[in-house]
Structure 1
Amino acid sequence: MFLYVVLILQNAISEYFFWNEFGVKYNFIAVNYLVYTNEVIGNIMESYPVIPIFTTLFLIAGIITYFIIKRSKIYIEKIPSVFEKIQITFIYFLLFSISLWAVPNLAKAENATNVFTNELQANGIYRFYLAYENSELDYFKFYKTLPENKVYELLARQIPHIINFSTARQIQSKSAEIHKNVVLITIESYSADFMKMYGNDKNITPFLDDLATKSLVFTNLYASGNRTVRGLEAVTLCLPPTAGESVVKRKDNKHKFSTGSVFKSKGYQVKYLYGGDAFFDNMEDFFSGNNYNIVDKKSFQPEEITFSNIWGVCDEDMVNKAIQIMNTEAQSGKPFFNHWMTVSNHRPFTYPNNKIDIPGDAKSRDGGVKYTDYALKKFFSMAQKQPWFKNTVFVIVADHCASSAGKTKLPLDKYRIPAMIYAPGFVKPKHYIQLMSQIDLMPTLFGLLNFNYQSKFFGQDVLNKDYKPRALIATYQDLGLIKDNVLTILSPKQQVKQYELILKPKEGIEADCQLYYDEKPMKKERIDLVNDAISFYQTASDVLKKKKYERQKF
């Protein structure tokens, strides 16, 4: 009885902290957390006062158990008759049957336009079950579809020159290829609204604020999803976020056409740099299976680590390691492509003390953001002193926003992320203000480098005159297309919803950096936009299912 009470109370506490972190009841994130218990339990231990919480939990559970036992003592001292046992068993199974019917049917009543309302009335355990069941969603079974010839015809209007029911097309530049080194930095949980240009007045990103004035900045770019694996998938595979698990975490995640494979075909050295254990979120399996060499925490010598938490070494330690690696690569005479994923801006938000004006043990999100900014400043300060710096292009982008919770299924401000390309003397500082997706960033870089290649990317060079502005955003089951000031959402059971996007301007912010929109349900369906959304997501699912997104052999 004590264990039962502990379980009920423990679940209630867990739901509270999960809501506090993500703004929803249990979902696919909770399912993922069961897989990576070391990092998750370590994160909980470092982020929350676990001992006081569990001490209080056991104390309250003991008191409740005492009163339950005291009031039900008669059932222990007097064994029920066979007839009474049958009655109790019948009542139990009746209530159990009613619950099996009632919970899923009541869940169908969660139809408020405000997502918080739906989440508050939801059954957390049932939500967890649904998330587990939907970890692999077959697009063709659960979502609205179109005939294959029609869907690829529609896609060809969005991505010109594709051929043969695929996304294959030849990218041809009129100028000579430029084989500069490339460093791609994806920043953990870095929302656009952390930066000054988007209206933040806390001065928590002073370095990136300054760097943006010297870079090609994509001010209207949206993340594909709200998890790190979605961000990694977006910049590596340049593919729309398909339903269910990210490709990074699927069994069939190897030998894909990727940014790394394009660089490999040009003779580049290709590496993935991560301060934690790349086993987490299946990163090691994904990147190694796509011909990246991996440098993670296991590559560090003890003397190279000055500070670490459950997620890995601090970003400064990774800075030192990255510079060391790039110096070695530069000596080989071959260009390099290094993809560095930061870790410090992540709960528990701990980092070395006496680095910034927010203590490292304050466990503050603002501190995590500012420390990451500080580490990036150190990286560029060190890089500028290296002989390879002038021949290097730096691409900086967030993996996803710090929070995904909002009043709507896909709140736009929770997907808007900063992105920029910095290369003094090569890329001119400018604001690119057109709507674009995270999947477009690397194809745009390839355009700047005049790369000629056979592309399979859904992402496009946004600086090309053929580009048609749009963005693709999603959860693990709601697939969204932003286009023509309309958000179209495809959901399981062939559901489609559309919202008119009405800007809520904030004073003192440039027009291209405005973040907030009202999402007003549309009374009349824009069938053309519904078909466009289907064309992206159905074809993305199709090329993965039929293995048409494989890389060329080297």
Structure 2
Amino acid sequence: MLLKPMLIVLMILSLTRLGLVAWQLERVQEADGLGFIFLQGLRFDLVLLGMILLIPATLTPLMAINVRLLGLWKRLMCVYLTVWVIIIVFMEVSTPSFINQYDSRPNYIFVEYLQHYKEVASTLIAQYPLQLLLAGIVVPLAAVSFYRYMKRTWLLEAPLHWPYALALMPVILITCAMMVRSSLGHRPVNPSTVAISPDGMVNDLALNSTYTVAYAIYLTKDDEHGGVSYGEMDRNNMLQIIHEEMLLPDTAFISPEIPTLHRQQAGQVRERPYNLVIILEESLGAEFVGALGGLPLTPNLDRLSREGIWFSNIYATGTRSVRGIEAVVTGFTPTSTHAVVKLNKSQRGFFTLAALLRERGFDTGFMYGGESHFDNMRGFFMGNGFNYVIDGKDYANPVFTGSWGVSDEDLFNRAHEKFSSYSPEQPFFALVFTSTNHSPFEFPDGRIELHDPEKNTVNNAVKYADHALGEFIDRARRSRYWDNTLFLIIADHNSRVYGNSLVPIEHFHIPSLILGGGIKPKTINILGSQIDMGPTLLPLMGISSEHPMIGRDLLRPELGDVPGRAIMQFNTIQAYMEGEQVVLLRPEMAPETFVYEHNTLTPQRSDASERLIDKALAHALFTKTAYDEQLYRIPSE
């Protein structure tokens, strides 16, 4: 009884998608995505239908037990479905104009514009009169036609027997829920699922515009729920503090429109810059690293720490992988809401190391053993400078596959194969993200001597991850790309951040190591953050650049004379640490200052506390401002 309206909606969405593909056929063919667009398009159209029908379809058998109730339900459902057809048709009719303006299906911008309907209405009347006329004809025509059709043909005319109705309800509920989820894997689909091309508009064609706007509203709702305010500060004062804490002269800043955009000079001039490989180790906190005073689980990393630039005092910005990606790949500071990997305004045009390096001729990519659409990683990367993504489906004969994808050794084997395929003249950048060290801690047998008697524990997973890392580095060292490549090995966060402190700072401590051609061993004990890695790497690669990252180059000699700093987000609390002094910012509460010694926060107030509080608040406010106003980017040419 629901098949006919479903088919009508699918037909509407398929026909409009066909029209959009025909319009953008050249770009679709360049992306080699024709079949994919229609196959995934059907998938996401069913997702939308599942969302629309989940509750009413489940209730329909119950309403069909009684004749009177059935008649009333029929009228209500005709109106309900007609309203959805109006929305769907309106969104699809609006899509070509939106693509013309923004090169994507309607998204958060569309939602924002709805809040300014007067200004938008005048703009539409002036610029898009024909489109408005078309919408004024097509939308009412579709609504009236659909409503009349539904009144004539839809729903049962005879009531259902109650045992049959009750048996039918869970079947419909499960069916609709599976349509919404559209996956038997760990995670439901999202727009990142269709991010197969660097051309974001082509990826968007596999979606439908009602879904993209609904998803944008969903993310905006989460943003508003999670984004807390820690206080207020004059904008100029805030930016002045940010500039001062970057420890750069005023002449380094080059753009009033992008306040933190600045020039950074290469440490040494190279005819060809180094390649860059960032190995982001899943959940590798200092407590597991022998060289940082932790358990003896990382003999390979401990050995390598004596062969490169070892940063002994680096802190993660958060407790989730996307937060680590945000800090290491973009240099962006944390907030109490989602990382920028998942936020609407950062899906295109947001600064990343990949975007900067791609402009300099680097081939840029992301390698992962699991599902890259998790946490919208694929979508974010493909929209912000990455040329390719390799994930779990791209491994032909993996040695081992667990809940989170192929093993780390499979990942590193594929990475080595990819890096070896480049000619010496082709520079490359890759983010290689491991996943073995994640609950349920699955890895191949026979690789390590177990630390714990039970195999699937975090300690054993760390030891295996270290084994796979060591094997890869030893193999890379014998390759032709080693001498021209820098490797950053750094954790995304700790395995489990817990403790009885307001912020368990000791569990934010992570390893960080730079290896590769020409690197001379040294240890850097300066307090630092994941956000400092990008500004440290670029000069070391031999690249002079202009970028908005506010982190510091930790290899600058003069930094030895100033206290380092780190910023950590723990739920809604943000910690700003400078040397041993810590400020905690909490919503609806006054900032508090502490001394951090021996893994303990001790309340303390001093003459310098007010200035430190200003620094903490400035960084918290800058992050929100930079995101909201889209100030974290490189200017368009």
**TM-score, structure 1 normalization:** 0.70
- The AA in structure 1 aligned to 2:425 is G
Does residue 492 in structure 1 map to residue 587 in structure 2?
Answer: yes
C-alpha deviations, 1:273-315, integer Å up to 9, x for none?
01001011111111111121111112222xx212111110001
Whole-angstrom distance in 1 between the partners of 2:182 and 2:463: 30
Determine if the alignment matches structure 1 residue 263 to structure 2 residue 357.
yes
SS at match of 1:417: strand
Match of 2:346 in 1: 253
Aligned residue in 1 for 2:527: 435
Out of 590, 603, 613, which is 1:521 matched to? 603
Report 1:401-412 matches (<5 A): 401-412=494-505
Give the 3-state SS of the residue equivalent to 2:414 in structure 1.
Answer: helix
Q: 1:488/1:316 Cα in 2 relative to 1: closer, same or farther (>3 Å)?
A: same
More helix by percentage: 2
**Superposed displacement of residue 353, structure 1:** 0.5
Distance 1:414 1:478, change over 3 A: same
> Quick one: which amino acid aligns to residue 411 of structure 2?
M
User: Given the superposition, is the C-alpha separation of residues 545 and 494 from structure 1 closer, same or farther in structure 2, using an over 3 Å criterion?
Assistant: farther
Distance (Å, rounded) in 2 between the aligned partners of 1:485 and 1:381:
37
Residue identity matched to 1:478? I
Unaligned runs of 5+ in 2: 1-180, 189-218
Pairing 1:153–2:240 present: yes
Q: Is the 8 A contact 2:266 2:538 kept in 1?
A: no
- Label 1:316 to 1:138 Cα distance change in 2 as closer, same or farther (>3 A): closer
SS in 2 for 1:278: coil
Q: Does 1:470 align with 2:617?
A: no
Aligned to 2:461: 368
- In structure 2, do the counterparts of structure 1 residues 267 and 552 end up closer, same or farther at CA, with 3 Å as the change threshold? farther
Aligned pair in 2 of structure 1 residues 35, 416: CA closer, same or farther (>3 Å)?
farther
Where in structure 1 do 4 or more consecutive aligned residues deviate above 4 Å? 34-37, 131-135, 465-468
Alignment partners' CA distance in 1, 2:431 and 2:267: 28
Matched residue of 1:220: which SS? strand
Change in 2 beyond 3 A, CA 1:240/1:519: same
Which structure would you say has the larger RCO, counting Cα contacts within 8 Å and 6 or more residues apart? 1
Cross-structure match for 1:452 = 544
**CA-to-partner distance for each residue in 1:118-143, whole Å, 9 max, x for gaps?**
xxxxxxxxxxxxx998653586x722
2:308–2:520 CA contact under 8 A, matched in 1: yes
Deviation, 1:409, is 2.0
- Quote the residue 2:328 is aligned against: 235
Q: Does 1:168 align with 2:261?
A: yes
1:149–1:138: structure 2 CA closer, same or farther, 3 Å change rule? farther
Does 1:219 pair with 2:312? yes
Summarize the Cα distance change of 1:252–1:137 in structure 2 as closer, same or farther, 3 Å threshold.
same
Question: For the residues of structure 1 that align with 2:299 and 2:183, how far apart are their CA atoms?
Answer: 34
Aligned residues of 1:275 and 1:296 also touching (Cα < 8 A)? yes
Amino acid at match of 1:191: G
Distance (Å, rounded) in 1 between the aligned partners of 2:274 and 2:267: 18
Is the alpha carbon distance of 1:37 and 1:189 closer, same or farther for their aligned partners in structure 2, counting shifts above 3 Å? farther
Q: Is the 8 A contact 2:268 2:539 kept in 1?
A: no
Q: SS at the partner of 1:142?
A: coil
Tell me, in whole angstroms, the C-alpha distance in 1 between the residues paired with 2:267 and 2:285: 36
Query: 2:186 is matched with which residue?
Result: 39
| Structure 2 SS opposite 1:550 | coil
One-letter identity of the residue aligned with 1:154: I
Report if aligned partners of 1:225, 1:473 keep a CA contact under 8 Å in 2.
yes
Deviation at 1:450, TM superposition (A): 3.0
Structure 2 partner of 1:313: 406
Q: Structure 2 matches for 1:47-446, cutoff 5 A?
A: 135-136=223-224, 142-159=229-246, 160=248, 161=250, 162=253, 164=256, 166-173=259-266, 175-177=268-270, 178-201=272-295, 203-254=296-347, 255-292=349-386, 293-301=388-396, 304-328=397-421, 330-331=422-423, 333-358=425-450, 362-424=455-517, 426-446=518-538
Rounded Cα–Cα distance in structure 1 between residues aligned with 2:474 and 2:435:
20
CA contact (8 A) 1:36 1:281 kept: no
How far the C-alpha of 1:35 sits from its partner, in A, is 12
Measured after TM superposition, the shift of residue 199 of structure 1 is 2.3
What secondary structure, in the 3-state scheme, does the structure 2 residue paired with 1:482 have? strand
Paired residue type of 2:542: N
- Mapped partners of 1:380, 1:216: distance in 2: 15
Q: Secondary structure at the match of 2:568?
A: strand
Q: How many residues align?
A: 413
- 1:36–1:280 CA contact under 8 A, matched in 2: no
State how far apart, in whole Å, the 1-side matches of 2:529 and 2:545 are: 21
Which SS does the other structure have where 2:284 is aligned?
coil
Asked if residue 461 in structure 1 is aligned to residue 461 in structure 2, the reply is no
Aligned-partner SS, 1:150? helix
CA contact under 8 A between 1:397 and 1:420: conserved in structure 2? yes
Question: Residue 334 of structure 1 aligns to which amino acid in structure 2?
Answer: Q
Kept after mapping to 1: 8 A contact 2:241/2:618 = yes
Between stretches 286-295 and 476-485, larger displacement belongs to: 476-485
* SS at structure 1 position matched to 2:307: coil
Q: CA deviation at 1:39?
A: 2.4
1:142 and 1:494 in contact (8 A); partners too: no
Structure with the greater alpha carbon radius of gyration: 2
Counterpart Cα distance in 1 of 2:299 and 2:531 = 27
Which amino acid in structure 2 is aligned with residue 158 of structure 1?
E
Q: Does residue 549 of the first structure (1) align with residue 617 of the second (2)?
A: no
Query: Which deviates more, 396-405 or 464-473?
Result: 464-473
Paired-residue identity, %: 27
The AA in structure 2 aligned to 1:521 is P
Residue of structure 1 equivalent to 2:102? none
Look up the SS of the partner of 1:403 in the other structure: coil
How far apart are the structure 2 equivalents of 1:377 and 1:226?
Answer: 25
Deviates more, 1:287-296 or 1:177-186: 177-186
- Confirm or deny: 8 A CA contact 1:352 1:360 kept in the other structure: no
RMSD (CA atoms)? 2.5
Q: How far apart are the structure 2 equivalents of 1:196 and 1:321?
A: 28
TM-score normalised over the length of structure 2: 0.61
User: Following TM superposition, by how much is the alpha carbon of 1:449 offset from its aligned partner in structure 2, in angstroms?
Assistant: 2.0
